Amino acid sequence: MAVATVLTLGVAAAASLFMAWSIGAGSSGSTPFAPAVGANAISVMRAGLVVGVLGLLGAVLQGANVTEAVGTELIGGVTLTAGAAIVALVTAAGLVAIGVFAGYPIATAFTVTGAVVGVGLAMGGDPAWPKYVEILTLWVLTPFVGGGVAYAVARSLMGDRLPERALTAGLAAIVGVIVANVGFALLGPPGEQASLSEAIGSELGAGAIGTPLVTVAVAAIVAAAMYVDLGRDREGAQRRFLLAMGGLVAFSAGGSQVGLAIGPLVPLFVGDASVPLWALLVGGGVGLLAGSWTGAPRMIKAIAQDYASMGPRRSIAALIPSFAIAQAAVAFGIPVSFNEIIVSAIVGAGYAAGDAGVSRAKMGYTAFAWAASLVGSFVLGFGIYWAVQFVL
């Protein structure tokens, strides 16, 4: 391999690590535990440390779907070159880094998707309209579904119509159903993923009914454990449930967000250099970890305190739909913004208390930043790549 090629790939890898750091500091590192920090269930610094480790695990065990989608499915007719990957990653990472230091959560999925599509079109590629429809559908529905479900759950937990203990145990059962059916790379055959329910059902030889039986069993165990824990120590049980949900969302963030950082490298390394995908996932996960440990505390504080004042019940209500949406995005290989997911859910749960503490001005600025990041990354990606090619 020529020296120039090696140097180019090295620059592309460095740009990817910068992107991973930016995401770890601004999205996957800050959003998962923000509701827990807002409810005083965990300190800012400890949240940054924990979310980094869980994000690394999620990147390795669940990151393949979104990574391949970002690298190969956003543009048709062309394959991203090293130069295109560098332009896309530096453009997106720069915008995310600006958001981190300004205290506004830039939507990483918007910036990376816009930049990759921009450089792809500048290369002469064709728009991947079916994939764009999938992505935009999820992006548009996320604030309404996530915020609406968070509002409904928070109202139910805060009301007197339903017994809080039984309702919380029921919510834990729903979480158990999702966890039992989450795909993991280690449980499936090479190149595929399998869920706990599928793996255990197969080992038991239960046939077609094995997966649903295991799912029901996991849900029942989780619900029973939560019900008993609430009976012994209600406040402590709520805190433990909240921290568990934060951990699950952090894990999901790693599985989703790592693809935004290393996806553009897939055509370069996995195809041309024959680097295994898991090696890229580990490298991207380490970048997320570094960003979470060094840059996330600032954004954790911003999301936890600036959008709405949160208690334990409203924080739980915000994290449950966030976890469900994140896992749906990972399963279908759709790049999604965790800032959009968490912020929407936090605002929905905040409104359950009668608009208490919800900052409309902050939400307005954030929505503008999201839209501007998508348009800006597309324009910059297209323009910078075209300019570089014109000069060369």
pLDDT level of residue 11 (50, 70, 90 thresholds)? confident
Q: HEC states along the chain? A: CCHHHHHHHHHHHHHHHHHHHHHHHHCCCCCCCHHHHHCCCCCHHHHHHHHHHHHHHHHHHHCHHHHHHHHHCCEECCCCCHHHHHHHHHHHHHHHHHHHHHCCCCCHHHHHHHHHHHHHHHCCCEECHHHHHHHHHHHHHHHHHHHHHHHHHHHHHHCCCCCHHHHHHHHHHHHHHHHHCCEEHHHCCCCCCEEHHHHHHHHHCCHHHHHHHHHHHHHHHHHHHHHHHHHHCHHHHHHHHHHHHHHHHHHHHHHHHHHHHHHHHHHHHHHHCCCCHHHHHHHHHHHHHHHHHHHHHHHHHHHHHHCCCCCHHHHHHHHHHHHHHHHHHHHHCCCCCHHHHHHHHHHHHHHCCCCCCCCHHHHHHHHHHHHHHHHHHHHHHHHHHHHHHHHC
- Tens of pLDDT, residue by residue over 159-173, are 777 889 999 999 999
The predicted structure's pLDDT at residue 46:
80
Flag whether 216 is in a domain.
no
- Range with the poorest average pLDDT among 128-137, 242-251, 273-282: 273-282
Whether 287 is in a domain gets the answer: yes
Q: For the whole model, what pTM was predicted?
A: 0.88
Q: Confirm if 383 and 114 have CB atoms less than 8 A apart.
A: no
Q: Tell me the pLDDT tens digit for each residue of 92-122.
A: 888 877 776 776 667 888 999 999 999 999 9
Q: Helices 277-306 and 3-26 meet at what angle, rounded to 10?
A: 30
Residue 214 lies in a domain: no
Q: Is the pLDDT of residue 249 over 70?
A: yes
In a domain? residue 219 = no
pLDDT of residue 107: 80
C-alpha span between 373 and 114 (Å, rounded): 8
Q: Distance of CA 138 to CAs 145, 173, 196, 251, 340, Å?
A: 10, 25, 26, 20, 11
Return the structure tokens found at 288. 């997320």
- Domain residues for the domain of 9 are 3-175+245-391
Most confident residue range from 27-41, 182-196, 214-228: 214-228
Give how many domains the chain has, as a whole number: 1
Residue 200 has pLDDT above 80, yes or no: yes
Q: How far apart are CA 243 and CA 41, in angstroms?
A: 7
Q: What is the mean predicted confidence (pLDDT) over 358-378?
A: 80
pLDDT (average), residues 188-211: 83
Which whole number is the average pLDDT over 258-269?
A: 88
- Does residue 226 belong to any structural domain of this protein? no
pLDDT at site 28 = 62
State the average pLDDT for the chain. 85
Instruction: Assign 357 a pLDDT band (cuts: 50, 70, 90).
Output: low
CB 316 within 8 A of CB 245: yes
Question: Has residue 33 been placed in a domain?
Answer: yes
